[in-house]
Amino acid sequence: MSLLKQIDTARLPSHIAIIMDGNGRWARQRGMDRIFGHQQGVKALREIIEASAELKIKFLTVYAFSTENWGRPDEEVSALMGIMVQSLNKETDTLIKNNIRLTAIGDTERLASDVKERLLETINVTSDATGLNLVVAMSYSSRWEITEAAKRIGAEISRGSVDPGSVNEFNFEKYLTTHGVPAPELMIRTSGEMRISNFLLWQLAYTELYFTEILWPDFGKVELYKAIIEFQKRERRFGKTSEQLLDK
């Protein structure tokens, strides 16, 4: 049976988050520059966006550039920014055609004005789309996001518009950049690294984690199907017992 047919379409994750890792190693293995790996990584992303849209996944969040990635060599940072602008130039029409809505999370204020403007333009022109929600984490880190949320709550408390006693995990969530987006049910990280690297720390509290040795440029539809099939074998207990889940 094909892998696609093994997927139970009634139990698909509504939100998949991906740490797209391993571009540099992929290129190095071929004696190429790391930048070439990032260019190939865009092709993998294109395929995964297409597969997610075909499966009717509602949300796909991809980690494209972390706060810590600003510390990479200048040439690599500017190449990554260039790839971002080029990809948006090239793919915006395809996003519109396929009813895909783009949003971004992260400290976009740190982006150079041309990158920021290009990103905001695509966000604007896709804002009415009702199909896949593609969330790009750009200049993002979770500690930054949670700290920003704490600052905003603090400011509201000092203005007197929020009572500190009323802050709880449900209304705290409203201050996160992912407000309105359900927590991911499945988080995939490629390249064999078994860490979260400052990605969605709050949102991943009960997410099923899937790690694969495949380097991001080699991650295609079949790899996505494998991850979903593995996800569907997991029992998500949320702190309860298996028996309690059966009783429902």
By the rule CB under 6 A, 231 interacts with ligand IPE: no
Contact 41, 85 (CB under 8 A): no
The Cα 3–Cα 242 span in angstroms is 27
Residue 23 or 133: which CB sits closer to ligand IPE?
Answer: 23
69 is catalytic: yes
Residue 7 or 16: which CB sits closer to ligand IPE?
Answer: 16
Residue 13 or 217: which CB sits closer to ligand IPE?
Answer: 217
By the rule CB under 6 A, 87 interacts with ligand IPE: no
Contact 29, 223 (CB under 8 A): no
21 is catalytic: yes
Among 75, 93, 121, 193, binds ligand IPE (CB under 6 A): 193
By the rule CB under 6 A, 20 interacts with ligand IPE: yes
Among 19, 21, 111, 135, binds Mg ion (CB under 5 A): 21
DSSP assignment of the chain = --HHHHS-GGG--SEEEEE---HHHHHHHTT--HHHHHHHHHHHHHHHHHHHHHHT-SEEEEEEEETGGGGS-HHHHHHHHHHHHHHHHHHHHHHHHTTPEEEEES-GGGS-HHHHHHHHHHHHHTTT--S-EEEEEEEE-HHHHHHHHHHHHHHHHHHTSS-GGG--HHHHGGGSTTTTSPPPSEEEE-TT----TTSSTTTTTTPEEEE-SS-GGG--HHHHHHHHHHHHHS---TTS-HHHHHH-
Q: Which stretch binds Mg ion (CB under 5 A): 21-29, 55-63, 109-117, 146-154?
A: 21-29
Choosing from 33, 69, 98, 218, the catalytic residue is 69
Site for ligand IPE in 61-80 (CB under 6 A): 63-66, 68-69, 80
Binding flags for ligand IPE, 133-172, as an x/- string (CB under 6 A): ----------------------------------------
Residue 13 or 106: which CB sits closer to ligand IPE?
Answer: 106
Least Å from the CB of residue 37 to ligand IPE: 6
Interacting residues toward ligand IPE by CB under 6 A: 19-25, 63-66, 68-69, 80, 191, 193, 195, 197
Interacting residues toward Mg ion by CB under 5 A: 21
Catalytic residues: 21, 69
